Amino acid sequence: MGQNQSTEGAIPGSAPGSGNVLEDLSELWPTAVASLATIFFLAFSPKVVGNFTSFFIIIGGVGFLVYTGTIASVLEVLSNMSLQEQLAHGAAVIAAHFFIGSQVYSLLGVDGWFKGKPKVLAMSKEQAQQEAKDNVTYPQTLPDDLKQAFDVCYISLAQELVNDLPSNYEMPQEVIDWISNMHDYNVKGGKLNRGRTVVEVHQRLAASTGVQKLSARELYRAAALGWCVEWLQAFFLVADDIMDDSETRRGQPCWYKKSDVKMIAINDSFLLESAVFRILKRHFGSEPYYAKLVDLFHEVIFQTELGQLLDLTSQPMTNDPHKHVVDLTRFTINRYQLIVKYKTAFYTFYLPLALGMITSGHGTASKLSLARNICCIIGEFFQIQDDYLDCFGDPKVTGKVGTDIQDNKCSWLVVQALSRADDKQKSILQNNYGQWNDSKVKKIKDLYVDMKLPELYKEYEEKTYTDVMKLIGDINDMPTEIFELAINKIYKRSK
Choose the catalytic residue: 125, 147, 191, 442. 191
| 279 and 369 co-located in one domain | no
Residue ending a domain, choose from 228, 261, 286? 286
Our answer to whether residue 164 is catalytic in this structure is no
Choose the catalytic residue: 343, 346, 349, 409. 343
Our answer to whether residue 311 is catalytic in this structure is yes
Choose the catalytic residue: 164, 244, 245, 407. 244
Residue ending a domain, choose from 224, 258, 286? 286
Report, in angstroms and rounded to the nearest whole number, the Rg of the chain calculated over CA atoms.
33
Choose the catalytic residue: 194, 221, 249, 409. 249
| 232 and 355 co-located in one domain | no
Our answer to whether residue 483 is catalytic in this structure is no
Residues 381 and 370: their CA atoms lie apart, in Å, by 17
Our answer to whether residue 240 is catalytic in this structure is yes
Our answer to whether residue 386 is catalytic in this structure is yes
Torsion angles phi and psi, residue 383, rounded to 5:
-70, -35
Choose the catalytic residue: 24, 241, 268, 311. 311
Instruction: Tell me, yes or no, whether 13 lies in a domain.
Output: no
Choose the catalytic residue: 41, 284, 382, 483. 382
pLDDT 10s digit of each residue in the chain, 495 long?
A: 444 444 444 434 444 444 454 455 455 555 555 555 555 555 554 444 444 555 566 676 666 666 666 667 666 766 777 777 667 666 666 665 566 555 544 444 444 434 443 444 444 545 554 554 557 889 999 999 999 999 999 999 999 999 999 999 999 999 999 999 999 999 998 889 999 999 999 999 999 888 889 999 999 999 999 999 999 999 999 999 999 888 888 889 999 999 999 999 999 999 999 999 999 999 999 999 999 999 999 999 999 999 999 999 988 777 665 666 788 999 999 999 999 999 999 999 999 999 999 999 999 999 999 999 999 999 999 999 999 999 999 988 887 888 999 989 999 999 999 999 999 999 999 999 999 999 999 999 999 999 999 999 999 999 999 999 999 999 988 999 999 999 999 999 988
Domain span at 256: 137-286
| CATH number of the domain residue 224 falls in | 1.10.600.10
Instruction: Tell me, yes or no, whether 414 lies in a domain.
Output: yes
Our answer to whether residue 249 is catalytic in this structure is yes
| 198 and 254 co-located in one domain | yes
Statement: the pTM of the whole predicted model exceeds 0.75: no
Residues 459 and 248: their CA atoms lie apart, in Å, by 34
| 372 and 431 co-located in one domain | yes
pLDDT at 115: 41
Choose the catalytic residue: 268, 387, 390, 404. 387
Our answer to whether residue 343 is catalytic in this structure is yes
Number of folded domains in the chain?
Answer: 2
Our answer to whether residue 244 is catalytic in this structure is yes
Residue ending a domain, choose from 270, 286, 302? 286
